[in-house]
Chains A and B, each alone.
Chain A
């Protein structure tokens, strides 16, 4: 024996002494790595070995043992040694069967009688590597998940804590302007106005970051139920109408009752955002229309404005987060997060948002959702 040669401990679980002997001989041919083989003739014997402290690097597993057979063999071995790489020894060459075994947690499979010494050795080495990679990947995914969860939790806490001081700032600005506004110098009045507006914008930003954290947390947070999309849209229109009146933009909506499956609050958030944008980029006397149409298997809700349209360079990054938002026609600020959040929410519903914009003619945003298979529209 070469001193210092790497050695791999192999546990053969095989009730047929002839097959076990053949495998042992095949593995004995290899010197790099050198295999050290032990043998168990039943699952019970193999489990006992593992329980008594045997730490093989890999197990070669026959699927017809006296005490367990077939798929259950793999499951039993996985339970007994969760991190032990498994190479299945099977009598028949069936790719689908092998796939299923790999799905159950085996790393590879070999067909008895077809496997030469070098093939077995290679299968063993690959199985060990695959198992190591799988373990590392699982640890990474776990770490990543918990760090995302922590980030989202932190976002939530931070957003909530930031709102308190912002509420105090905006509150004082409003209060002083209301009570002492007329006595302030022009400079003082302007400063107060800037403080108030900035605080309101900051609150918007916090609100968007908070929804972003919620949207990032993924589809798991959706509460999908059968809902009347028409009602959701009408609610969003009602919320937008205050803004529209202030800018003297006509906001019209014609929506029938259409049942879809979705999260009513989240979808409302999407339409409030799209309608808000349409108003933001419209000027007095212009019209914003909201309509719903069923087209084939899709429900299409469109929000159309007749403003200046979206410049091509903005179009490219329209749905990306943290790209600086465009100010509205009255200088309304943008957080740059609204459309990103909308697209995340709609995507979580299995839908998409389409944009059609023409310079000088206006823009239409269309939320496309799947129509329910059994439409029980009234």
Chain B
């Protein structure tokens, strides 16, 4: 049911300040064949990475020290093309309506909440590849 070559041609950027979570997100996308994966641990590094070489998809946490996920996305949406239209998937433990609304307003494309999230990350990537 899982296509091990789904993300083969995608360039991904993962921003997550918790080391285990960062590694797990990396493992999940690797299982889908992703080869071009950059993993950073804070919003500022993410901005620098996007400015240097915009990926297809950004997978980011919401709560991070320094520049948080929402600020990061607002910054990205104010960048010139093609960086501006990076597809943003946010994975967070913040399961409130408020967080979902704030993410939507900031320009997040897909909002996924823990604890059940890996399947939804799979489907979000599938949808992207399918061009939905």
Is A167 within 8 A of B2, CB to CB?
A: no
Q: Is A322 an interface residue (CB 8 A)?
A: no
Please measure, in the bound complex, the distance between the C-alpha atom of A199 and the C-alpha atom of B115, giving whole angstroms. 7
Q: Which of A168, A174, A175 is the one whose CB lies under 8 Å from B18?
A: A168
B79 contacts the other chain (CB 8 A): no
- Structural contact, A168 and B24, CB atoms closer than 8 A: yes
Contacts of B118 in A (CB 8 A): 171, 174-175, 178
A14 on interface, CB distance cutoff 8 Å:
no
B93 on interface, CB distance cutoff 8 Å: yes
Residue in A closest to B28 when the chains form the complex, CB atoms: A175
Whether B24 contacts A175 by the Cβ 8 Å rule is yes
Bound: A172/B117 CA distance, A: 10
- Indicate if the CB atoms of A203 and B31 lie closer than 8 Å: no
Cα A171 to Cα B121 in complex, Å, equals 10
Interface-central residue, A167, A175, A268, by most chain B CB under 10 Å: A167
Q: Does A353 sit at the interface, judged by CB under 8 A?
A: no
Is B93's CB under 8 angstroms from A167's CB? Answer: yes
Q: Give a binary string over B1-42; 1 marks a CB under 8 Å from any A CB, 0 the rest.
A: 110000000000000001011001001100100000000000
Kindly state the separation between the CA atoms of A170 and B117 in the bound complex, as whole angstroms.
8
Which parts of A163-212 form the interface with B (CB within 8 Å)?
163-168, 170-172, 174-175, 178-179, 199-200, 202-203, 207
- On whether the beta carbons of A163 and B97 are closer than 8 Å, the reply is no
- Known: A174-B118, A175-B24, A179-B31. Is A160-B93 also a contact (CB below 8 A)? yes
A83 to nearest B CB, angstroms? Answer: 44
Q: Is the CB of B116 within 8 A of A174?
A: yes
Cβ B2 vs Cβ A178 within 8 A:
yes
A265 at the interface (CB under 8 A from B): yes
Beta-carbon contact of A203 and B114 below 8 Å:
yes
Query: Does A167 contact B115, Cβ atoms closer than 8 Å?
Result: yes
Q: Which of A179, A202, A265 contacts B98 (CB 8 A)?
A: A265
A170–B1 alpha-carbon span in the complex (Å): 20
Q: Is the CB of B115 within 8 A of A175?
A: no
Q: How large is the interface on A (under 10, 10 to 19, 20 to 34, 35 or more residues)?
A: 20 to 34
B110-122 interface code vs A (CB 8 A; 1 in, 0 out): 0000111111001
Q: Is B106 an interface residue (CB 8 A)?
A: no
- Looking across the interface, which residue of chain A has its beta carbon closest to that of B23? A168
Report B111 CB to chain A, min CB distance, Å.
15
Tell whether, in the assembled complex, residue B97 and residue A268 are in contact, meaning their CB atoms are under 8 Å apart.
Answer: yes
Shortest distance from the beta carbon of B53 to any chain A beta carbon, whole Å: 27
> Does B119 contact A174, Cβ atoms closer than 8 Å?
yes
Q: In whole angstroms, what is the CA distance A104 to B108 when docked? A: 55
Closest Cβ–Cβ distance, residue B77 to chain A (whole Å):
25
Rounded to whole Å, the gap between the CB of A172 and the closest CB of chain B is 6
Q: Are A178 and B114 in contact (CB under 8 A)?
A: no
Interface status of B63 (Cβ within 8 A of chain A): yes
Chain B residues, CB < 8 A from A207: 95
Contacting residues, chain B, for A265 (C-beta < 8 A) = 96-98
User: In whole angstroms, what is the CA distance A217 to B102 when docked?
Assistant: 23
Instruction: Give residues in B with beta carbon < 8 Å to A.
Output: 1-2, 18, 20-21, 24, 27-28, 31, 63, 93, 95-98, 114-119, 122
A-B contact pairs, 16 of them (CB 8 A): A163-B93, A166-B93, A166-B115, A167-B115, A168-B21, A168-B24, A170-B115, A171-B117, A175-B24, A175-B31, A178-B1, A178-B118, A199-B115, A203-B114, A265-B98, A268-B97
Give A contacts to B, CB under 8 Å. 160, 163-168, 170-172, 174-175, 178-179, 199-200, 202-203, 207, 265, 268
Q: A171-B24, A175-B28 are in contact. List 13 more A-B contacts (CB 8 A).
A: A160-B93, A166-B115, A167-B21, A167-B115, A167-B117, A171-B28, A174-B118, A175-B118, A178-B118, A178-B119, A178-B122, A179-B2, A200-B116
The 3 closest A-B pairs by CB, nearest first: A163-B93, A167-B114, A170-B115
